[in-house]
Amino acid sequence: MAEYNLEVTTGDMQYAGTWDHIYVTLFGTEGQSERTELDNFGPDFTTGTVRTYTLKTSLSLGKLLLVKVEKDPFLFSQDDEWYFSKIVVTTPEGDAILFPCYRWISRGELVALRGGKGLNFLCFFRWRIMAEGLPHINHCDNASELPAEIRFSKTKTTEIDDTKRRMWLNYHDHHVVSNLFKNILDISIAILPEYVAKHWKEDDFYGSQFLNAVNPNVIKRCSELPPNFPVTEEMVKLFLEEGSSLQKEMEKGNIFLYDQKKMDGIPPRAYNGEPLTVTAGLCLFYRNPENKLMPIAIQLHQQPSEQNPIFLPSDPETDWLLAKMFIKNADSMDHQAVHHLMNTHFLAEVYTVAALRSFPVIHPLYKMLFPHFRYTLHINTVGRKSLIGPDGAFSKSSLGYDGLKELMRRALSKTTYSSLCLPENIRGRGLESIPNFYYRDDGLKLWNIVNSFVKAVVEYYYASDSEVYKDTELQEWISEIFTHGFLGNKASGNYQEPCSEFITMVIFTVTAQHAAVNSGQFDYYSWVPNGSLLLHKSPPTTKGQSNMNTILETLPDVGETVINYGLPWPHLNMLHVPMGIYPEERFDEPAPKQMIKEFQAELSYLSEEITTRNSQLEVPYTYLNPAEIENSVAI
């Protein structure tokens, strides 16, 4: 007679327990056990409990390969899900083997914990084309169709719904919408955040947003003006250091360019039967001796002409304001469609589905990656309808639903692997030395911390590069990402090596990069003139013809503001699991457990450093503080 000791852990979140019958069958190289009910005296699987059981077999089963867990209804029981964390099986030979599950199990469901395709996700998840030329998505139409362990828990859903209700009440209690366009010159109303509302017209604050607001990935160092942007020395000499010149400042590395050429020619949506205007503009910035990034020239369309003048800070105030607003309108759409939705949400979904299809749950990379994928499919499946569907909030932008899809197509076709790796991205844009660039400073430190952690884990499980290449499940994961995320575009770069850098890029994207482009939306977009997805009027073609009424007529009305800005915000700042927290004990070896502790310690040190730095700043940069970064794309 052989005895197997089973230690079964139920999750500690609300509603995790069950009254249903739980059965276990063990499979080994020498045979299998009988189907055995786990039943002690009293309640067995209440929330947060660890219960032990003994399973007897006539002979040892040999090397243990698989544990099959089944959940059958208890008479008159009303619950239908159980959060099964893990089972540790101690064999007659004294080996303690961890079989992690960490998922919700529905009534009547069977779960096989083994070294194959884990939870049969390969069979469950199928790829689907959302739109030609865009990353592929999971096949589910509704979040309720997703497996329970990937959906928001009941508690999490309740929290989100409550937060939405509270924020909507607060939104209307403070009369934000009704007062939004009153007295635009005399900002005395309670608009959040107050700083943006007070300083949005100032050029130095405008420039700083291209470094440390919601879209820090667009400007680049300019060593030579594009031929279609004919800025002359005479135009800008008043805005440069006395005695200097545009050419000298370019040679010093003090001139930077924003160029939205990928938007050029995309048809805008129609409004009241007439097409709106979208400006694929260019903006020239100068880093002045005070280390402030100042806009010094704006051209609103790609091709210069008499009807497309170059606007300057010396132009009439409302002309210059309108020029900046149209640049920010294009930038807001580029931010939401490309840098936020596609480069974080959509690619995160690709990384997630590929992992669920490729890795078994006992694979060390699955254990490391899954906490960073936890809620991604749920939030994306919901968001595709509420935000970016044909009737979603972002379809009411100047480009509309079809225009945003085309913008994403164009961007994906030009996306390279190096552009997704922050160190190479910064070098490629020539932004290594520009001061007061907190996204870069905090981001590079985070990148290095993540990379050190990933390298330690990879080197622990893989003795050499050849072992990495021999891992068919890892190679399958990378191949699926290349095929379904980047659509097999060989020009996008090499996704095969080094393994540690690739995994670093994935974790950084779904944590830090998502936080950088997501967390500041309310801060910078709640004051609509600072960054509107929708502008009604065409930009000026002749200087000196605009006034403050022109600006008011250009901005969206109250109803459009509610649609465009009310929907995305209710749970933007709801932190589910902070970066680096691994609430589920998936690793059973001491070494990776220690690596996680060291990873968390490094994140904590960086958090303290950023908090100290921010205490000295007029406008703190908090988005890459690890304590405020979500562990997965979940908001």
Q: CB of 61 within 8 A of CB of 12?
A: no
Helix H or strand E encompassing 212: helix 203-212
413: left (phi over 0), alpha (psi -120 to 50) or beta: alpha
Distance CA 133, CA 415 (A): 12
Query: Residue length, the chain?
Result: 635
Contact 283, 297 (CB under 8 A): yes
Q: Is 80 annotated as a binding residue?
A: yes
Angle, in degrees to the nearest 10, between helices 438-461 and 203-212: 0
Query: Do 44 and 38 contact (CB within 8 A), yes or no?
Result: yes
User: Which candidate, 394, 378, 335, 395, places its Cα nearest to that of 516?
Assistant: 335
317 is written with which tokens?
A: 């105030």
How far is it, in rounded angstroms, from Cα 580 to Cα 428?
28
What are the distances in angstroms from CA 313 to CA 236, 247, 259, 324?
Answer: 9, 19, 18, 10
Q: Is 367 helix (H, G, I), strand (E, B) or coil?
A: helix
- H helices of 94-192, in order, are 121-124, 154-173
* Residue 39 assigned as binding residue: yes
Query: At 44, which amino acid appears?
Result: D
Task: Give the phi and the psi of residue 526 in degrees, each rounded to 5.
Answer: -65, -30
DSSP 578: B
List, in sequence order, every residue forming a beta bridge with 286; answer none if it has no partner.
255, 294
Which two three-digit tokens encode residue 508? 């950084």
> At residue 192, what are phi and psi to the nearest 5 degrees?
-105, 140
Q: Between helices 347-358 and 472-484, what is the axis angle to 10°? A: 150
Ligand-binding annotation for 259, yes or no, is no
Give the Cβ contact number of residue 227 at 10 Å: 7
CB proximity list for 369: less than 8 A, separation 6 or greater:
351, 355, 359, 503, 506, 507
Tell me the C-alpha distance between 54 and 470, whole Å: 38
- Closest Cα partner for 612 from 597, 627, 592, 598? 627
Rg (CA), the chain: 27
Q: By three-state DSSP, how is residue 191 classified?
A: coil
The answer on whether 514 is annotated among ligand-binding residues is yes
Task: Provide the Cα torsion 397, 401, 406, 407; round to 10°.
Answer: 30
Q: Cα-flanking dihedrals φ and ψ of residue 138, to 5°? A: -75, 160
Cα dist. 396→73, 274, 388, 556 in Å?
A: 48, 14, 10, 10
d(CA 377, CA 348): 9
Residue 249 tokens, joined: 């400042």
Query: For 528-573, what is the HEC assignment?
Result: HHHCCCCCCCCCCCCCCCCCHHHHHHHCCCHHHHHHHHHCCCCCCC
Binding residues: 17, 39-40, 80, 340, 345, 514, 635
- Binding-site residue positions for Ca(2+): 17, 39-40, 80
Which residue numbers belong to the known binding site for Fe cation?
340, 345, 514, 635
